[in-house]
Structures are given as C-alpha cells and as structure tokens.
A and B are shown apart, each in its own frame.
Chain A
Amino acid sequence: MSDKKNWPLWEIFVRSKNGLEHRHFGSLHAADAEMALENARDVYTRRSEGVSIWVVESKYITASNPEENGEFFEPAADKVYRHPTFYELPDELKHM
C-alpha cells in the first residue's frame, strides 16, 4: 500500500420522488463531488430510484456518540407534557 492520496469517501443521499425527503443510501469513493454524483447515479439509481442526489464528503459529517446517548437525549425523557396523551379530557369530547 502506498501513502498516495486515495479517493475520499462520500455519503450519498437520494430523494426517491418529489414530496419525499432525501434519505441516506450508502457511501462511495470518488475523486471529487461531480464524480461522486455520477457514481452515485450509477450505483444507487440504476432502476430509477431517485430524482435528486446529494453527496457530502464523509469527513464533514459530525455524528453524536451513541455511548453518550443517555445524557445527550436525557432532556426529552421527563417531558411527558409534550405529548397529547398527558392532558386529561372528558370522554364526551371527541376528535381532539
């Protein structure tokens, strides 16, 4: 293995049709963004699975650490009043 610079890794997001969000489909290697788009088209949309593609170089993604999930997501844990079922209403009241 040489210490030559290899093609970086890109994360691929595909919108399968208008009205839907872009969804993470996987990753691939490419020399630049344009090549990443073309490779993503060939790798992930060979059967018309997409109408729009985003590519982001993997190194620019910052991810939360699952080992800290407890404290990180803790603020939501004790806020039951954010859910509709927290509120006690009479049964006669329908559709609310």
Chain B
Amino acid sequence: MSEKEIKNLEEIFEAKIARDEKIEPKDWMPEKYRQTHIRQISQHAHSEIVGMLPEGNWITRAPSLRRKVALLAKVQDEAGHGLYLYSACETLGVSRDELYEQLHTGKAKYSSIFNYPTLTWADMGAIGWLVDGAAIINQVPLCNTSFGPYARAMVRVCKEESFHQRQGYEIMLTLCNGTPEQKEMAQDALNRWWWPSLMMLGPTDDESVHTAQSMKWKLKRKTNDELRQQFIDQTVPQADILGITIPDPDLKWNEETGHYDFGPIDWDEFWQVVKGHGPCNKERIAARVNAWNNGEWVRDAAMAYAEKQENKKVSKAS
C-alpha cells in the first residue's frame, strides 16, 4: 500500500471513531491502534489473572462459610474476566501463548496493586472496597471504547464487578462494628491500601504518555487525574460511614471546587513497584509460572485424549 492510500484509510478510520462507530477485528486499523490495544487489553487480562493470587491466599482462612463462598465466587469471576479479555485480545491477531509468554517473562505489565501483600482478613475487605472500587471507575468508561470486542467484554466485567465491591465493603462494615481489635484491623487495612489504590488510577496527567492518543481513540474517556478525583470524592463518605480515617492529613472538602483536596502521592514508590521492586512482584510471577508449568501435563493429556477420540471417529466412519 502506498503512503497516500494508508493516509486515506487512516482518515476514514479516525472519522469512524469520531462518529462513535465501533471498530471490529477484521476492519482495517492503523498498526499503532492494534499494538496499543494488544498492550492495554492484555495488561488488563493479566491484572485479572494475577489479581486472583492475593485473594486466593485467604480462601482457606475465610472466617465463615458465607465469606468463603463469596470470596471463592469473586476469585472465579476474576478468572472469567481474564478469559473474556484474553479472547478479546486474541481477535487482534496475537495468540494466547504469546500473551502468557509476555506475562511470564515480565515483558507485559499488570496492575501494580497486586504486588502488595494481603496480611490480614481485613485486606479482603479493603481490596473489594478500594481496589475493586477504583477498578470500576477505570472500567465503566471502557464499556464505550471504540474497539468492539473490548467494549463488549467490559460490559460483562462491569456487570459482575459491583458484587465484588459490595462484598468487600460488607467485610469492612462488619469489622468496624465489631470489637476494638477488629476495627483496628479495618483501619490498618485502609492505611495500607489507600495510597496504592490512588496510584492504581495511573500516573498524573502531565506524566502520562499515552493519554492524548488514548483519548482520541476513546480507549480512555477521562484522564487519570479526573478518575482519581472521582474515586476520592466517592470513597471519603464511605469511610465516614465505616467510622475509620483515611490516612491523609491533607484530605479536606473544598467548597469552591466541589471536590476533596488531597495530599501528595509518593510516585517514587509507584515507579519502584512498576519496575519490579514491590513487596511481592517476584512471588506473584513465580506463582503464576509454577501454575502454568505444573499444569502442562494436564493440557497435554487433554489434547492427546481429544486427538485419540477424533481418530476413533474417523476410523469408524471409513
């Protein structure tokens, strides 16, 4: 294709997105659009899969059967969300094997929040409340993103996500209405998860390299700072109901802007964790790689069995 032809196709493509028309897998798309989507959708899928690990840690130690089945269902949903997203990503011409390879070798990133440890049962509450809360804020605008398979996967994810946040908040509420020690556990979990949750919404707008292009492609509909402000504004009153304190001395309502002002975020910590120096980066990837390698014989046996059955059918027919 000549440069002029590509430019022409690009113009048609941009106009389509501007009209809010969806892009489907077999439609022509700029190579950069394809690559950006593979990166973002696979990162999102990896986050769902790695996100199962910190919670899986507590399934066997949940304090009641009710809590256990709920946590199990939540973790199972996360596996499902990972699968919706991997399959959306594969429509862009990348194989599942390549995607796993990128995760396992550290070439692909996943949400840094999952590199923090889950030390107490209250962390299950804080994760559902804060981490899933921040995820919902990130994900709701993606239901309208321009790439059809991604948008459709996100609609399913968002529908299921609201149970996750409610079960987390209920855990927090129970602890906060319990003994002083239990309430202290809830406060401790909030202290540890608050700042990483704010970081989850991404670097500040002036540091975010992809924002401008992503807004144009409707891969992003609000900037990181807008999303973060929305998260803070919605979460502060929820902490008030619990009767615990958000660990930010600068946090206060600003009558003029109609938003909460908040203190500086430690971005050095964020970049350290992104670069692999968080408390659990190695442990998470090792757990994931182990699960994949130890499951290899099962995948092979299933494939061998399927082939054998297929051959039987063929020989019977002839």
Q: CB of B306 within 8 A of chain A? A: yes
Contact present for A35 and B302 (CB under 8 Å): yes
A11-27 to B contact mask, C-beta < 8 Å, 1/0: 00000000000000011
B87 near A28 (CB under 8 angstroms)? yes
The reply to whether the CB of A85 lies closer than 8 angstroms to some CB of chain B is no
Say if the beta carbon of B120 comes within 8 Å of chain A: no
- Cα–Cα distance between A42 and B75 once the two chains are bound (Å): 13
The answer to whether B303 touches A43, judged by C-beta atoms less than 8 angstroms apart, is no
Q: Do B97 and A26 touch across chains, with their CB atoms under 8 A apart?
A: no
Q: Known: A9-B90, A67-B28. Is A43-B302 also a contact (CB below 8 A)?
A: no
Decide if A5 is an interface residue (CB 8 Å cutoff): yes
Bound-state Cα–Cα, A67 to B1, Å: 14
Q: Does B80 contact A (CB under 8 A)?
A: yes
Check if B305 is an interface residue, CB within 8 A of chain A.
yes
B153 & A26 in contact (Cβ 8 Å cutoff) = yes
Q: Is there a chain A Cβ closer than 8 Å to B84's Cβ?
A: yes
Q: Are B303 and A63 in contact, CB atoms less than 8 angstroms apart?
A: no
Contacting pair A65 B97 (CB below 8 A): no
List CB contacts (< 8 Å) of B136-191 with chain A. Answer: 149, 152-153, 160
- Report yes or no: A5 in contact with B303, Cβ–Cβ below 8 A: yes
* Chain A residue nearest in CB terms to B152: A26
In the complex, A42 Cα to B97 Cα: how many Å?
21
Instruction: State A63–B310 Cα separation when bound (angstroms).
Output: 26
Q: Please, which residue of chain B has its CB at the minimum distance from the CB of A4? A: B300
Residues of A within 8 A of B26 (CB): 63, 65-66
Closest chain B residue to A58 by CB distance? B90
Q: Give how many A-B residue pairs fall within 8 Å (CB-CB).
A: 58
A7/B90 in contact, CB under 8 A: no
Choose one: B77, B88, B98, B306; the contact of A46 (CB below 8 Å). B77
Contacts of B83 in A (CB 8 A): 26, 28, 43
Contact flag A46-B76 (CB < 8 Å), given A28-B83, A29-B96, A65-B26: yes
Per-position 1/0 for B69-110, Cβ under 8 A of A: 000010011001001100110100001111001000000000
Measured CB to CB, the nearest residue on chain B to A27 is B87
Contact with B along A33-77 (1 / 0, CB 8 A): 001000000110011000000000000000101110000000000
Q: Which of B87, B96, B149 makes the CB contact (< 8 A) with A6? A: B96
B288-318 CB mask vs A (1 if < 8 Å, else 0) is: 0000000000011011011101100000000
B84 lies within 8 A of A26 (CB): yes
What's the least CB distance linking A9 to chain B, in Å? 7
Q: Is A89 an interface residue (CB 8 A)?
A: no
New A-B contacts (15) at CB < 8 Å, excluding given A1-B101, A26-B149: A1-B97, A5-B307, A6-B299, A7-B302, A9-B87, A26-B84, A31-B299, A31-B305, A32-B305, A32-B310, A43-B84, A46-B73, A46-B77, A66-B26, A66-B28
A67 to B12, CA, bound (A): 12
Rounded to whole angstroms, the CA-CA distance of A35 and B303 in the bound complex is 11
Minimum CB distance partner of B300 in chain A: A4
Q: Lowest 6 A-B CB distances belong to which pairs? A: A32-B306, A31-B302, A31-B306, A27-B87, A26-B87, A66-B27
> When chains A and B are docked, how far (Å) is the Cα of A32 from the Cα of B302?
8
A contact residues around B160 at 8 Å (CB): 46-47
Pick from A5, A32, A46: contact of B309, CB under 8 Å: A32
- Asked if B24 is at the interface (CB within 8 A of a chain A CB), the reply is yes
Which single residue of chain A is at the shortest CB-CB distance from B95? A6
Is B90 touching A27 in the complex (CB atoms < 8 A)? yes
With both chains docked as a complex, state the minimum distance between the C-beta of A64 and any C-beta of chain B, in angstroms. 9
Complex CA distance for A46 and B81, rounded to whole angstroms: 12
The interface bits of chain B over 260-298 (1 if a CB of A lies within 8 angstroms of the residue's CB, else 0) are: 000000000000000000000000000000000000000
Most B-side CB within 10 Å, residue of A4, A7, A9, A43: A43
Contact assessment for B303 and A31 in the assembled complex, using a CB-CB cutoff below 8 Å? yes
